[in-house]
Amino acid sequence: MKINNGLMVLPGMADVHVHLRVPGGEHKEDYRTGSAAALAGGITSLMAMPNTTPPIITLEDWQTAQKKANEESLCDVALFAGASVTFLESLPELSRYAPALKLYMDLTYGELRVDGLDNLARIAQLWPREKVLALHAEGDSVKTGLDLAKKYHRRVHFCHISRKEEIEWIAAAKNQGLLVTCEVTPHHLFLNESDAKRLGPLGDMRPRLAKQSDLDALWAHINTTIDCVASDHAPHTLAEKQNSENPPPGVPGLESTLPLLLTAAAEGRLSYERLVALLAVNPRRIYGLPEQPETWIEVDPKACYVFPEHSLYTKCGWSPFSGFPVQGRIRKVVLRGKDAVKDGVVHEFVR
């Protein structure tokens, strides 16, 4: 690792699982606030999910949203398209523009779930084999996803893998040569079922927090099976989380992901080289994200602090990690030769 005046120089991080809530959920997050939160968290490139209101499922939806994202975002933002049974025929055309397709196999926030083996198989055949098909799959759906990868000789990426058996199935599939990749979230690496109890609705997301034995299994695969770490930044307002009969699942993560992994690196749970592979190199490779010239971040690996309660850039304004002791502070973010963040302040961002 390059060290300069006590600061570690790392590539800009790439977060390939982010919810920016445009259109329809701008009170939770928008391109500007979400991309500012990304930069504050050392992330210079992100991919946003299509489970918006309405969802992004046609070429027209995707082009409109991508244009708006390009105009309003402070970092690089690439948008997923969403798989929906209503627009199966349009998938080949959509695939000429959208970098990846997201397929929801299980129930979560939003209305983009696809049901039935026939539909799943059609989508796995219609979306180009070499392009990423990213799955929200839990439990048996992971097995189904692996079957699709095998049967159609195609690439499949598993989002937010959280259970011991799931990571072991994926390890076995990789050993058989299937073209599969997977990501885990910081909340599934650092929080378990007892944290879920303590946090109440603020610790509720899909997949739900798991047993300590699941966390241990994920950590056991951190240098092998796990290809990348992504935040699954899923902002909902405090009011929505705390004052509702049926709080929406999801937690924010853009500003906590890198600090948590830097902490794990400081503790020797993974190397700084592995951190860079998981958060910068591999996610860019999986999704074919463009290189960002003259882009880097500077981190003080020794600085210890408590993850803040307030003064976050995400519009939702809270974090399940508030109060966590962390080690490793982002001192500077440079994007295409310009200072984007200095000592926690995002340049160009007016609240």
For the chain, where are the alpha helices, taking DSSP H only?
31-40, 59-72, 91-94, 117-126, 140-151, 164-175, 186-190, 193-199, 212-220, 238-242, 257-266, 272-276, 282-287
Least separation in angstroms between residue 347's CB and ligand NCD is 28
In the range 216-235, which residues lie near Zn ion by CB under 5 A? 232
In the range 302-331, which residues lie near Zn ion by CB under 5 A? 304
Which residue has the closest beta carbon to ligand NCD?
250
Q: Establish if 166 lies at the interface with ligand NCD (CB under 6 A).
A: no
Interstrand relation of 228-229 and 2-4 (parallel, antiparallel or unpaired): unpaired
Identity of the residue, 106 or 168, whose beta carbon is nearer to ligand NCD in the bound complex: 106
Least separation in angstroms between residue 71's CB and ligand NCD is 23
- In angstroms, rounded to a whole number, what is the distance separating the alpha carbons of residues 41 and 313? 9
Identity of the residue, 195 or 349, whose beta carbon is nearer to ligand NCD in the bound complex: 195
Q: Which of 44, 51, 58, 66 binds ligand NCD (CB under 6 A)?
A: 51
249 binds, among ligand NCD, Zn ion, none (CB under 5 to 8 A by kind): ligand NCD
Identity of the residue, 17 or 292, whose beta carbon is nearer to Zn ion in the bound complex: 17
Q: Which stretch binds Zn ion (CB under 5 A): 36-44, 131-139, 255-263, 312-320?
A: 131-139
Q: Establish if 232 lies at the interface with ligand NCD (CB under 6 A).
A: yes
Q: Establish if 136 lies at the interface with Zn ion (CB under 5 A).
A: yes
- In angstroms, rounded to a whole number, what is the distance separating the alpha carbons of residues 155 and 79? 18
Least separation in angstroms between residue 159's CB and Zn ion is 5
Least separation in angstroms between residue 208's CB and ligand NCD is 9
In the range 136-155, which residues lie near ligand NCD by CB under 6 A? 136
Q: Which amino acid is it at 28? A: K
Identity of the residue, 220 or 289, whose beta carbon is nearer to Zn ion in the bound complex: 289
Q: Count Cβ neighbours within 10 Å for each residue of 69-104 and write b for 16 or more, e otherwise.
A: beebbbbbbbbbbbbbeebeebbeebbeebbbbbbb
Contact 278, 10 (CB under 8 A): no
Least separation in angstroms between residue 107's CB and ligand NCD is 9
Contact 146, 180 (CB under 8 A): yes
- In angstroms, rounded to a whole number, what is the distance separating the alpha carbons of residues 252 and 212? 21
Q: Count Cβ neighbours within 10 Å for each residue of 308-324 and write b for 16 or more, e otherwise.
A: beeebbbbbebbbbeeb
Phi, psi of 78 (to 5 degrees): -115, 140
- In angstroms, rounded to a whole number, what is the distance separating the alpha carbons of residues 158 and 141? 10
Closest CA to 80 of 146, 126, 15, 140: 15
Contact 99, 78 (CB under 8 A): yes
Contact 261, 324 (CB under 8 A): no
166 binds, among ligand NCD, Zn ion, none (CB under 5 to 8 A by kind): none
Q: Establish if 66 lies at the interface with ligand NCD (CB under 6 A).
A: no
Q: Establish if 332 lies at the interface with ligand NCD (CB under 6 A).
A: no
Contact 73, 31 (CB under 8 A): yes
Q: Which of 120, 205, 278, 316 binds ligand NCD (CB under 6 A)?
A: 205
Q: Which of 8, 13, 19, 279 binds ligand NCD (CB under 6 A)?
A: 19
Least separation in angstroms between residue 108's CB and ligand NCD is 3
From residue 98 to residue 117, the character string flagging contacts with ligand NCD as x (rule: CB under 6 A) and all else as - is ----------xxx-------
Give the position of tokens 């982002």.
330
Interstrand relation of 81-82 and 100-104 (parallel, antiparallel or unpaired): parallel
Interstrand relation of 7-11 and 2-4 (parallel, antiparallel or unpaired): antiparallel
Q: Establish if 320 lies at the interface with ligand NCD (CB under 6 A).
A: no
Q: Number of residues in contact with ligand NCD, rule: CB under 6 A?
A: 13
304 binds, among ligand NCD, Zn ion, none (CB under 5 to 8 A by kind): Zn ion
Length of the chain (residues): 351
Residues engaged in binding ligand NCD (CB under 6 A): 19, 51, 108-110, 136, 205-206, 232, 234, 248-250
Residues engaged in binding Zn ion (CB under 5 A): 108, 136, 232, 304
